[in-house]
Amino acid sequence: MNFKLDILAIGAHPDDVELGCGATIAKEVAAGKQVGILDLTKGELGTRGTPAIRAMEAEAAAGILGVLVRENIGLPDGFLENTKEYQLKIVEIIRKYQPEIVLCNAIDDRHPDHAKASKLISDACFLSGLRAIKTNVGYGEQEAWRPKNVYHYIQWKGIEPDFVVDVSEYMDVKENAVKAFKSQFYDPNSSEPESPITSKNFFESIDYRAKDLGRIIGVKSAEGFTTERYVAVKNLSDIF
pLDDT in tens, 107-154: 999 999 999 999 999 999 999 999 999 999 877 899 999 999 999 999
Q: Give one DSSP letter per residue of 54-75, joined into a string.
A: HHHHHHHHHHHHT-SEEEEEEE
- Answer yes or no: is 1 within a domain: no
- Band (225; pLDDT cuts 50, 70, 90): very high
- Band (14; pLDDT cuts 50, 70, 90): very high
240 has a pLDDT exceeding 90: no
Q: Report CA-CA distances (Å) from 50 to 8, 34, 206, 214, 231.
A: 25, 30, 23, 35, 40
Average pLDDT over residues 91-101: 98
Q: Report CA-CA distances (Å) from 166 to 23, 151, 203, 224, 234.
A: 9, 16, 20, 9, 20
- Answer yes or no: is 234 within a domain: yes
**Residue type for position 6:** D
10 has a pLDDT exceeding 90: yes
Phi, psi of 45 (to 5 degrees): -95, 10
Domain that holds residue 99: 7-238
- Answer yes or no: is 147 within a domain: yes
DSSP collapsed to 3 states, 201-224: HHHHHHHHHHHHHHHHHCCCCEEE
- Answer yes or no: is 167 within a domain: yes
**pTM as predicted:** 0.95
Which domain CATH number covers 107? Answer: 3.40.50.10320
Distance CA 89, CA 82 (A): 11
Average pLDDT over residues 206-219: 97
75 has a pLDDT exceeding 80: yes
Phi, psi of 23 (to 5 degrees): -70, -35
Contact 167, 181 (CB under 8 A): no
19 has a pLDDT exceeding 80: yes
Distance CA 78, CA 46 (A): 10
pLDDT (0 to 100) of residue 238: 86
Distance CA 128, CA 137 (A): 14
- Answer yes or no: is 2 within a domain: no
Please give the tally of structural domains in the chain: 1
108's CB contacts (< 8 A; 6+ apart) are 114, 115, 118, 157, 159
- Band (1; pLDDT cuts 50, 70, 90): low
- Answer yes or no: is 130 within a domain: yes
